[in-house]
Amino acid sequence: MTAPAPSSRDSLRQLHRTLVAGLVAFWIVIGVFTYAGVVPLTRDAPFPPSVMAAICGAVLLVAVLWARPRVPARSASTGIDDYFRDERVRAGVNFVIFLLDGSATLAAVWTLLTGSWMTAVVSLVSIVIMAFNGPERFERSVDGLEP
């Protein structure tokens, strides 16, 4: 007997939690390397850390100000599972999650390479925003009114 396939909502939740846990684990590694005196891995950055912080910050702003509002809101008459079965909703939520993850990961890697505090701040802010913008946040939005 085969187990039933997980719902779209469960898959999105699992993806979101896994990505956030991976970012937290990566930051633990950066912390250990910093404590051990390994960070920065290189002093020869191809461009200033402020440029990478601005790029990652721009991706973060795109996720929060452009992509997140474009995810369709759940109406009061739509069940949560039905809401996440909609392809536009799944694609929108995935896009927001991946933009936030990309911003956090790119900034964290740059922090590991250069030891820049600016990219560290952008990465940590992206992780916090990502932690609070998972599928649970979108399933609470009803008729365009966000909690």
Any domain includes 61: yes
Is residue 80 pLDDT above 60, yes or no? yes
Any domain includes 2: no
Any domain includes 68: yes
Q: What DSSP element (H or E) covers 20?
A: helix 8-36
> What number is the average pLDDT over the span 49-78?
93
- Name the nearest CA neighbour of 146 among 66, 72, 80, 51: 72
Q: Is the Cα dihedral 63, 65, 70, 73 positive or negative?
A: positive
Any domain includes 145: no
Any domain includes 1: no
Residue 74: helix, strand or coil by DSSP? strand
Nearest-angstrom CA–CA distance, 89 and 60: 20
- How many domains does the structure of the chain reveal? 1
Terminal C-alpha separation, the chain: 41
Any domain includes 132: yes
Any domain includes 147: no
Any domain includes 66: yes
What six digits make up the tokens of 43? Answer: 């002093």
> How high is the pLDDT of residue 32?
94
> What number is the average pLDDT over the span 31-55?
88
Q: Which domain holds residue 100?
A: 8-140
> How high is the pLDDT of residue 41?
84
> How high is the pLDDT of residue 12?
92
